[in-house]
Structure formats: C-alpha cells, structure tokens
Amino acid sequence: MLHPDRVLMGPGPGNPYPEVIEAFGRPVIGHLDPDFICLLDETNERLRQVFQTSNPLTFPVSATGSAGMEATFVNVLGPDDVVVVGVNGVFGERMCDVASRCGADVIRVDAEWGAAIEPQALLDAHPSPKVIAVVHAETSTGVRNDIAPIGLGKGDALLLVDCVTSLGGIPLEIDRWGIDLAYSGTQKCLGVPPGLSPVTVSPAAISGFVDKPQSWYLDFSMIANYVTGGGTRAYHHTAPISMIYALHAGLGVVLEEGLSNVQARHQECGDRLQEGLVQRGFELFAQEGHRLPELTSALVPSNRLPAGVSEADVRRQLLSDYGIEIGGGLGPVAGQVWRIGCMGHTARQRNVTLLLGALDEILI
C-alpha cells in the first residue's frame, strides 16, 4: 500500500509534532502501573496549564473529540433538563442532536453560517437553563464565538464549551471566563494525532452531575476514581496508553515553546494565509473580527478555476500532486468554501508559502 506523507492543511488532523510520534515508541506499560499513573497525572497537569484551569477533574476522555462532546452533555443533562445551544455550524447542530438524545429540552439559538453567535441571545433564550452550550471555534465555518460574556451573564447555568479547534490555537481561559465544562481534541492545535478528547469540569458542574448518566463509558464520576485522587486508583476502563504518551509529549512541546508563543505562531500563519488568499481573489467566509487564525474559510473564486475544473478537482490535485490536504465546505456551503487549517505542527510559515505557491500554479 502506498503511504506517502502529507502536509495536513485540512480542518484537522494537522501534522503532529515529531516529538509526539517519537513518544509512540515508548514501551507500553499497564494502566495501573505506578509509572503510568505518574505520567497520566503529569498529562492532566499539563492539560490544566493549557486549559488555564485549576479544575482537579481535567483529563483526556479515551475517545475522539465528539465523545468529549457526548461526555460533557450526558453527565449534566437528564430528561427534561433545559439546555440552550448556540448553532452556527455543524458542531452546534451536533450538540443539539447529542442533547436531545439525553432527553433534554433543547432551545436553539441560531446564527447564520459564517456569522458569530450573539452572547446576549444565548443569555436571553431562557430564564433558567441548566446548561448553556456553545462552540468556541466552529470547525465547519472558521468562526470564533465569544465566550467570556456568556460566562459573565450565565447566572446559575453551567457553561459548556466546545474547544476542539481552539485549545492551544487561540486564547482560552477556562476559569477566568467561567466555563464549567469544556472538551477538546488532540488532532488540532495540540499537534497530536486524533484519538483522545481532553476535558475539564468545574466543581459547579460536578455538583450538577445527573445521578446515573446514560453512558457508562463516559460516566465522569466513575472515571474520576481512576484519573484523579491519591494513591489508589480504581480501574474503570483500560486507558489508551500509547495515545496518552502522545498527548503527554504534544503538551510538552506546547508548554516548552510557551502557550502564548504557540498561539502567536497560529495567529501569524492565519494572518498570512488570509492575506494571501484575499490577494488571490478569495473572499473570506467568516465574519470579520471572528476569524479563526488556525482555520480559515474562504469562498473559492470560480473565475480563477481552469475551464471544466471544480473546486473539488483542485483539492484532489493538491493532494495528488503536492501531498497537501485542504478541506471542502460542509452543509449549506459545500462546493463553495474551502477550509484551510494551520494547526499544531502545521502552523509554520513554510506551509502557508507552499500552499499559496501551489495555488498560484493551479489557478488561472
């Protein structure tokens, strides 16, 4: 089987840091081995630093980002609990689906694809919701939703935030912004392959846990007996050892470079990419002032496509001729928008230069 490498400039995964792939080579040890518990504790402490939180219950869920979404919802929502959900893309939609499967009463607050959610609209949607849920960085549109104002006005509600594409890439302060539950993914701005979902849970959210969540695998109260606490750790499920090695290493790279430096690197790449695209006749899709640097969405200028060539053809050519992956649009903007990521180890100027150069060779 042909197995070339790629410059991963889609909506995720990005390229992992070389140190992360090295970490996969570590000998596997048991999930109850004291040395592994030590490494897990260190991983969780690194996650706290990257999440900017002191929440004791901070750990990687043993599955990908969407399982982190499900985990945060099922632990605090039971039948008829009210949840307000901001929807301006695929992942807000997914939140509604997940919440409705908990039997919750879902109140949607929609914004157009490409636009940001008005924080006040979320706060006004219901007088006393149990949960207000919103996506920080919408991977389907490249839009950043404001979180801090929701935390300020949330009252007794729990604030649940999707940080899959934001963690590590743009400023995010769990404690200062009043976020109660957050989940992320490893394959975006942390520079680790997909496979885990870092989560963090505030004491207030723990007080709001439902009695016996419908998911056994994602039951935070049971998992807490393994991932936190002192000398004795109760077996819940077998931890994905090698993926935790990888996450541990990726977080190490981020913290060694410095979280704000890593964010600045993402910002600089995004700025250059967006500038370069505009110069080439692309129209940026995300609302100004809410554009993610790590994930750029842009309307493909049809007048720059060679005759008889679709935007999908260009993406295929980028992949086959240059080994560059970029993403197409989803939902209402499928076939019109490209989504270009600069995340993790991909967030290097040279990759922006390469992609723009390749486009100059392909487009007319």
Q: What is the CA radius of gyration of the chain?
A: 20
If the CB atoms of residues 52 and 215 are measured against a copy of itself, the closer one turns out to be: 215
Q: Minimum Å distance from CB 289 to a copy of itself?
A: 28
Phi, psi at 98, each rounded to 5°: -65, -45
Both tokens assigned to 240? 């994905």
- The least distance separating a copy of itself from the CB of residue 278, rounded to whole angstroms, comes to 26
Is the Cβ of residue 168 or residue 213 nearer to a copy of itself in the bound state? 213
In angstroms, the CA 160 to CA 181 distance is 5
Cβ atoms of 140 and 166 closer than 8 Å? no
Q: Return the number of the residue (247 or 298) whose C-beta is nearest a copy of itself.
A: 247
Nearer to a copy of itself, 188 or 266 (CB): 188
Q: Which is nearer to a copy of itself, 68 or 86 (CB)?
A: 68
We find the least distance from the C-beta atom of residue 286 to a copy of itself, in angstroms, to be 20
* Residues in contact with 338: Cβ distance below 8 Å, sequence separation at least 6, in sequence order: 297, 298, 300, 311, 315, 326, 327, 328, 329
Token pair in block for residue 158: 């729990």
Considering beta carbons, is residue 240 or 301 the nearer one to a copy of itself? 240
346, 295 contact by CB (below 8 A): no
Q: What residue type is 246 in one-letter code?
A: A
Cβ–Cβ under 8 Å, residues 337 and 298: yes
Question: Which residues bind to a copy of itself, rule: CB under 8 A?
Answer: 1-6, 8, 10, 12-13, 15-16, 21, 24-33, 35, 38-39, 42, 62-67, 69-70, 94, 97-98, 101-102, 185, 187, 193-195, 212-217, 235-243, 246, 319, 325, 330
Q: What is the per-residue DSSP string for 191-240?
A: ---SS-EEEEE-HHHHHT--SS-S-STT-HHHHHHHHSSSS-----S---
> CB of residue 287 vs a copy of itself: minimum separation in angstroms?
24
Least distance CB 169 / a copy of itself (angstroms): 16
Q: From the CB of 119, what's the least distance to a copy of itself, in Å? A: 26
Helix H or strand E segment including 182: strand 181-183
